[in-house]
Amino acid sequence: MFPKSALISLTFLAAVVCGQQVGTNTAETHPKMSWQKCTKSGGCTTQSAGAVVLDANWRWVHTTTGYTNCYTGNTWDATLCPDGATCAKNCALDGADYSGTYGITTSGNALTLKFVTTSANKNIGSRVYLMASDTQYQMFKLLNQEFTFDVDVSNLPCGLNGALYFSEMDADGGLSKYTTNKAGAKYGTGYCDSQCPRDIKFIAGEANSAGWTPASNDANAGTGNYGACCNEMDVWEANSVAAAYTPHPCTVSGLSRCSGTACGTNSRYDTVCDPDGCDFNSYRMGDTSFYGKGLTVDTSQKFTVVTQFLTNNNSSSGTLSEIRRLYVQNGKVIQNSKVNIPGMSAYDSITTDFCSAQKTAFGDTDSFGNKGGLANMSKAAANGMVLVMSVWDDHAVNMLWLDSSYPTDADASKPGIKRGTCATTSGAPADVESASANASVTYSNIRFGDIGSTYTGSSTGGGGGGGTTTTTSSAPSATQVKYGQCGGQGWTGPTVCASGSRCVVLNPYYSQCQ
Ligand X SMILES: *[C@@H]1O[C@H](CO)[C@@H](O)[C@H](O)[C@H]1NC(C)=O
Amino acid identity at 40: K
Nearest CB to ligand X, comparing residues 80 and 143: 143
Pairing of strands 160-167, 458-459: unpaired
Check residue 508 for interaction with ligand X (CB under 6 A): yes
The window from 38-46, 66-74, 314-322, 420-428 that contacts ligand X (CB under 6 A) reads 314-322
Residues 377-396 binding ligand X (CB under 6 A) are 379
Q: How far is the CB of 131 from ligand X (least distance, A)?
A: 27
DSSP string over 340-361: --TTS----EE-HHHHHHHHHH
Task: Pick from 19, 372, 449, 484 the residue near ligand X by CB under 6 A.
Answer: 372
In the complex, least distance from residue 231 CB atom to ligand X, rounded to whole angstroms: 9
Question: Is 237 among the residues known to form the active site?
Answer: yes
Q: Out of 41, 65, 317, 499, which residue is the one contacting ligand X (CB under 6 A)?
A: 317
Binding of ligand X by 371 (CB under 6 A):
yes
Nearest approach, Cβ of residue 488 and ligand X (Å): 6
SS3 (DSSP) at 412: coil
Select from 7-15, 129-137, 355-363, 368-376 the region that touches ligand X (CB under 6 A).
368-376
Single-letter amino acid code for the residue at 112? T
Instruction: List the beta strands (DSSP E) in 272-335.
Output: 291-292, 297-298, 303-311, 320-329, 332-335
Alpha-carbon gap, residue 286 to 307, rounded angstroms: 20
| By CB under 6 A, residue 492 contacts ligand X | no
Q: How far apart are the first and last CA of the chain?
A: 39
Is the CB of 79 or the CB of 315 nearer to ligand X?
315
Per-residue binder mask for ligand X (CB under 6 A), 434-463, x = binder:
---xx-------------------------
- Contacting residues for 182 by C-beta, under 8 A, at least 6 apart: 20, 21, 22, 175
Give how far the C-alpha of residue 392 lies from the chain's centroid of Cα atoms, to the nearest Å: 11
| Interface region with ligand X, contact rule CB under 6 A, candidates 31-39, 93-101, 209-217, 316-324 | 316-324
Output phi, psi for 33, to 5 deg.
-150, 105
499 binds ligand X, rule: CB under 6 A: no
Q: Please report how close the Cβ of residue 379 comes to ligand X at its closest, in angstroms.
A: 5
Instruction: Find the shortest distance in angstroms from Cβ 253 to ligand X.
Output: 5
Q: Which of 164, 111, 129 is nearest to 440 (CA)?
A: 111
CB of 452 to ligand X, least distance (A): 10
Q: What is the Cβ-side half-sphere exposure of residue 240, based on CA atoms within 13 angstroms?
A: 19
Q: Is 340 in the site for ligand X (CB under 6 A)?
A: no
Q: Which of 270, 266, 235, 265 is nearest to 250 (CA)?
A: 270
Instruction: From 34-42, 145-153, 280-288, 310-318, give the range in contact with ligand X by CB under 6 A.
Output: 310-318
Which of 28, 232, 322, 433 is an active site residue? 232
Residues within window 398-437 making contact with ligand X, judged by CB under 6 A: 437
125 vs 372 by CB, closer to ligand X = 372
Q: Is 24 exposed, middle or buried (0-12, 13-18, 19+ CB in 10 A)?
A: exposed
Binding residue for ligand X, selected from 46, 217, 253, 330, defined by CB under 6 A = 253
Burial class from Cβ neighbours inside 10 Å (0-12, 13-18, 19+) for residue 345 reads exposed
Judged by CB under 6 A, which of 24, 107, 315, 425 binds ligand X?
315
Residues whose CB is less than 8 angstroms from the CB of residue 451 and which lie 6 or more positions away in sequence, other chains included: 144, 145, 146, 308, 310, 489, 490, 509
Query: Does residue 232 have an active-site annotation?
Result: yes
Q: Which positions lie near ligand X, rule CB under 6 A?
A: 251, 253, 312-315, 317-319, 371-372, 376, 379, 437-438, 489, 508
